[in-house]
């Protein structure tokens, strides 16, 4: 069983949803990212998505675009991110997922990327601009190296497309809450329960909802109907705000925010 599957099995026993937290690798700088990942894990995140920055992040809103830009200014490369993950892995058993776009992976070579990621201790990979239709080769290579392939469904997905995503996914399915790009929002769209219900009929994989999930009350609402909630931009923007306050203050504010988010995943409370 993969680390991701193990984590969901454990969460089912304790009746909790998964808190999935996204961070951009290299923001505010490569050294701090490593410490941030460990802090987020310590604060209770169940899965951490580590973003490998790509120069043209077309599925991302302004917050993650800006963090991507800062990371690239530091010269962060896919190789460097995987090396960083290897160091984190030596200190933590938290499930780690790489989130990126297809081009950086293609340039490294699918086989080479999968091998390097797997050796580093990565558990799964999400590529925002790679729908399952284009992923035949990647799917084979990733599974050879024991990596989960996480694909996305959206509110516009037809049943046929949901079926394809269900077939190609492992670990969990990323359910995009709204038509749009990443970024904190005030409300949760009404169409989410319908999308989850349709997907449940097609897969037993855990379903995690992301895009616009920024507050504890969103996490609470999402965990009432899904297996997990993904928080990205809200954490990234907190990091951007606190980066000037010094390392200790930054780590503490991120820790306490993630801690509060995690509490909202406990259904019994």
Partner 1 sequence: MSGGLQTVPDSRGHFGIFGGRFVPETLIPALEELEQEYRRAQNDAEFQREFHFYLHHYVGRPTPITFAERLSEWLGGARIYLKREDLCHTGAHKINNTLGQILLAKRMGKRRIIAETGAGQHGVATATVCARFGFQCEVYMGEEDVHRQALNVFRMKLLGAKVIPVMSGTRTLKDATSEAIRDWVTNVRTTHYIIGSVVGPHPYPMIVRDFQSVIGQESREQMIEMTGRLPDVVVACVGGGSNAMGIFYPFLEDSVRLIGVEAAGRGLDTKEHAATLATGRPGVLHGAASYLLQDEAGQVMPTHSISAGLDYPGVGPEHSYLKDTGRAEYVTATDEEALEALQALARMEGIIAALETAHAVAHAIKMAPAMPKDSSILINLSGRGDKDVDIVSRALGGRL
Active site residue 79: no
Q: How many residues does the chain have?
A: 269
How many residues interact with partner 1 (rule CB under 8 A)? 42
Of 16, 27, 46, 60, which one is the catalytic site residue?
A: 60
Interaction of residue 190 with partner 1, rule CB under 8 A: no
Active site residue 60: yes
Q: Helices 233-242 and 62-73 meet at what angle, rounded to 10?
A: 50
Interaction of residue 214 with partner 1, rule CB under 8 A: no
Judged by beta carbon, residue 96 or residue 173, the one nearer partner 1 is 173
Contact string 150-179 vs partner 1 (x = CB under 8 A): -xxxxxxxx--x---x----------x--x
Tokens of 136: 């035949």
Binding span for partner 1 by CB under 8 A among 10-18, 27-35, 148-156, 229-237: 148-156
Phi, psi (deg, nearest 5) at residue 248: -60, -45
Interaction of residue 54 with partner 1, rule CB under 8 A: yes
CB of 7 to partner 1, least distance (A): 24
Interaction of residue 232 with partner 1, rule CB under 8 A: no
Q: From CA 57, how far away is CA 80, in angstroms rounded?
A: 19
Binding span for partner 1 by CB under 8 A among 40-48, 96-104, 196-204, 253-261: 96-104
Interaction of residue 130 with partner 1, rule CB under 8 A: yes
H or E, element range at 99: strand 96-100
Which residues fall within 8 angstroms of residue 155, CB to CB, at 6 or more apart?
176, 177, 178, 179, 189, 191, 192, 195
Three-state DSSP class for residue 127: strand
CA dihedral 5, 38, 266, 197 (to 10 degrees): -50
Three-state DSSP class for residue 149: strand
- Residues with catalytic annotation? 49, 60
Q: Site residues (CB under 8 A) for partner 1? A: 54-59, 61-62, 65, 69, 72, 77-79, 101-108, 128-131, 133-134, 151-158, 161, 165, 176, 179-181
């Amino acid at each position: 069983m993969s680390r991701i599957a193990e984590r969901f099995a454990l969460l089912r026993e304790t009746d909790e949803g998964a808190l999935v937290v996204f961070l951009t690798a290299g923001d505010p700088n490569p050294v701090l990212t490593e410490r941030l990942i460990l802090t987020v894990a310590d604060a209770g995140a169940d899965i951490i998505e580590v973003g490998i920055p790509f120069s043209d992040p077309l599925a991302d809103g302004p917050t993650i675009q800006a963090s991507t830009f800062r990371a690239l200014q530091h010269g962060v490369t896919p190789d460097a991110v995987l090396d960083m993950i290897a160091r984190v892995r030596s200190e933590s058993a938290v499930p780690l997922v790489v989130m990126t776009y297809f081009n950086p992976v293609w340039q490294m070579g699918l086989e080479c990327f999968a091998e390097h990621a797997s050796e580093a201790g990565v558990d799964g990979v999400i590529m925002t601009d790679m729908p399952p239709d284009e992923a035949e080769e990647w799917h084979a290579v990733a599974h050879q190296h024991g990596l989960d392939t996480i694909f996305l469904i959206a509110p516009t997905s037809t049943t046929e497309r949901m079926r394809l995503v269900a077939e190609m996914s492992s670990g969990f399915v990323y359910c995009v809450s709204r038509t749009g790009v990443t970024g904190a929002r005030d409300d949760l769209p009404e169409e989410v329960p319908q999308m989850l219900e349709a997907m449940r009929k097609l897969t037993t994989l855990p379903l995690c909802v992301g895009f616009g999930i920024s507050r504890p009350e969103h996490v609470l609402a999402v965990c009432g109907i899904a297996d997990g909630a993904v928080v990205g931009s809200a954490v990234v923007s907190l990091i951007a705000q606190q980066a000037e306050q010094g390392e200790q203050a930054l780590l503490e504010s991120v820790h306490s925010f993630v801690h509060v988010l995690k509490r909202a995943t406990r259904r019994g409370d």
